[in-house]
Amino acid sequence: MTMDAGTTGGLLRLATAGSVDDGKSTLVGRLLIDSDSVFTDQFDALGGTDGLEVDLALLTDGLRAEREQGITIDVAFRYFSTAHRRFVLADTPGHVQYNRNTVSGMSLVDAVVVLVDVRTSLRDQARRHLAAASLLRVPHVIVAVNKMDAVDFDEDRFTRLRDEVLDCTRRLGVEDVVVIPLSALRGDNVVTRSERTPWYDGPTLLKHLEEIPAGSAAAAGPARLPVQCVLRGAEEPARFYAGRLGTGSLAPGDEVLILPSRTRSRVRRVRRLGDPVDQAEPGQSVEIQLADDVDVSRGDLIAGLPAPVLTTEFTAVICCVSDHRLREGEPLLVKHGTRTARGVLRDIRSTLDLTTMSYTPAGAVIGGNDIAVVSILTAEPLPIEPYRDDRITGSFLLLDPEDGSTTAAGMAGAAASTDSTAELAATGRTC
């Protein structure tokens, strides 16, 4: 969700990912305990009442099935803070069949930590997680090379895996990647610098997380305010349009375009949850009053200039997130911003193999955890922008019109007028 605009303090949204048994839950437990974020009773409940042996995974794997099977099934959210910053952590599952939860956990974070085991080469699941981070455009990627204690903190073993990681992320086009040798079990380079890795001169994991700028991408760009509802007081006839500002800012006098009506107006007044303010900032829930008496309702977008182009046909990469199979020609609902439009899955062009990051021609049916390039037609025009430009106006859900369930999560390419399949494919280099 939204972050404080481009600051290093404030709130950082973070996801963790990695293969099963790479020690992810242990790392999360270590971060929580070493940042003093675990209460005494929660610590004691981990089983090691004498403080000698505790099972860190029990801090996050809370569901009965998870505790019974010793695995993480669903995203768990954890909260911790240090003297420098507050963290919201989405701990995502490692198993392939729970990829949909991993994608969900990464959808709007500032950073992702992918765990890899120094004793193995870069596994498929880690490649998939790095590819998902690339696809979802997570701004900062950290690869934690774990279990360094198991190889006596050997520099060569680390270097070999690091080079493999960097080769993969370079192919994926991940710009900001940091690789850190650590031991979640022993605590080396998690919160405190390890004396056992004198050859490593980079930051510890927590230090790096404390210094990452949050929300810088969200702050840039023209204003985008999906209208959630219209508010009006008993004494005050003027209407306020309420919503959460995605990108940009809005201040009195700013010129805006209302979509899809394409009506022009200017901002007259700005309030933040009832309090008058000079300007609306990215991520804020606000109410806007316009200078003209125009028709605005839920589902509309109040846009700064340049405004998005309206389209009824677009291509996108979609991640299937339910067991429901999607077929070409299938009717669906497109939930974009605050509007839900009727649509149809026009065609399925190719599926994406996250392990190799290669596109292969697809059949007419997709489902499960498939990721596919598709084109979608909608019954009404939507102000969809490319996901690479705006994670809010570029993202959407596909819903099943029958039962309302969420069947897929989509990231828009470009309007159908450009050859966006080629464009999408070009970003998906093999890894």
Q: Which of residues 28-47 bind another protein (CB under 8 A)?
A: 29-30, 33-34, 36-43, 45
Q: CA 231 → CA 238, 296, 298, 333, distances in Å?
A: 9, 11, 11, 27
Orientation angle between helical segments 124-135 and 155-172, nearest 10 degrees: 40
Residues whose CB falls within 8 Å of the CB of residue 86, separated by 6 or more in sequence, listed in order: 10, 11, 12, 79, 80
Q: Of 294, 273, 306, 278, which is closest to residue 393 (Cα–Cα)?
A: 306
Query: Among 284, 315, 351, 375, which residue interacts with another protein (rule: CB under 8 A)?
Result: 284
Q: Of 105, 102, 110, 101, which is closest to residue 141 (Cα–Cα)?
A: 110
Task: CB nearer to another protein: give 34 or 347.
Answer: 34
Task: CB nearer to another protein: give 166 or 230.
Answer: 230
According to the binding rule CB under 8 A, does residue 237 interact with another protein? no
Query: Among 51, 253, 276, 363, which residue interacts with another protein (rule: CB under 8 A)?
Result: 51
Task: CB nearer to another protein: give 6 or 252.
Answer: 6
According to the binding rule CB under 8 A, does residue 232 interact with another protein? yes
According to the binding rule CB under 8 A, does residue 233 interact with another protein? yes
Amino acid sitting at position 290: L
State how far the Cα of 71 lies from the Cα of 61, in Å rounded to an integer. Answer: 7
Judged by CB under 8 A, the chain residues 136 through 165 that form the site for another protein are: none
Asked if 8 and 83 count as a contact pair (C-beta separation under 8 A), the reply is no
Task: CB nearer to another protein: give 24 or 168.
Answer: 24
According to the binding rule CB under 8 A, does residue 55 interact with another protein? yes
Task: CB nearer to another protein: give 11 or 352.
Answer: 11
Judged by CB under 8 A, the chain residues 287 through 316 that form the site for another protein are: 298
Task: CB nearer to another protein: give 84 or 171.
Answer: 84
Query: CB under 8 A: which stretch of 205-213, 255-263, 333-341, 347-355 binds another protein?
Result: 333-341
Least spacing, CB of residue 339 vs another protein, in Å:
11
The beta-strand segments (E) located in 137-216 are 140-146, 177-181
Q: Assign 365 to helix, strand or coil.
A: strand
Query: CB under 8 A: which stretch of 171-179, 201-209, 234-242, 348-356 binds another protein?
Result: 234-242
For residue 183, the Cα-to-chain-centroid distance in whole angstroms is 26
Query: CB under 8 A: which stretch of 161-169, 185-193, 257-265, 308-316 binds another protein?
Result: 185-193
Contact track, another protein, 385-414, x by CB under 8 A? ------xx--xxx-x---xxxx--x-----
**DSSP secondary structure letter of residue 228:** E
Q: CA 165 → CA 96, 141, 368, 399, distances in Å?
A: 20, 11, 27, 36
Instruction: Tally the residues of the chain.
Output: 431
Task: CB nearer to another protein: give 67 or 262.
Answer: 67
State how far the Cα of 134 lies from the Cα of 132, in Å rounded to an integer. Answer: 5
Contact track, another protein, 187-206, x by CB under 8 A? x-------------------
Judged by CB under 8 A, the chain residues 107 through 136 that form the site for another protein are: 107-108
Judged by CB under 8 A, the chain residues 80 through 109 that form the site for another protein are: 80-81, 83, 86, 88, 100-101, 103-104, 107-108
According to the binding rule CB under 8 A, does residue 332 interact with another protein? no
Q: How many CB atoms neighbour CB 366 within 10 A? A: 22
Least spacing, CB of residue 192 vs another protein, in Å:
8
Task: CB nearer to another protein: give 71 or 348.
Answer: 71
Query: CB under 8 A: which stretch of 170-178, 248-256, 278-286, 352-360 binds another protein?
Result: 278-286
Query: Among 6, 10, 173, 252, which residue interacts with another protein (rule: CB under 8 A)?
Result: 10
Residues whose CB falls within 8 Å of the CB of residue 207, separated by 6 or more in sequence, listed in order: none
Q: CA 403 → CA 124, 128, 399, distances in Å?
A: 34, 30, 8
The beta-strand segments (E) located in 240-363 are 240-244, 255-259, 263-272, 275-276, 285-290, 301-303, 311-320, 326-327, 331-336, 339-353, 358-361
Task: CB nearer to another protein: give 10 or 202.
Answer: 10
Judged by CB under 8 A, the chain residues 59 through 78 that form the site for another protein are: 59-70, 73-78
State how far the Cα of 359 lies from the Cα of 331, in Å rounded to an integer. Answer: 25
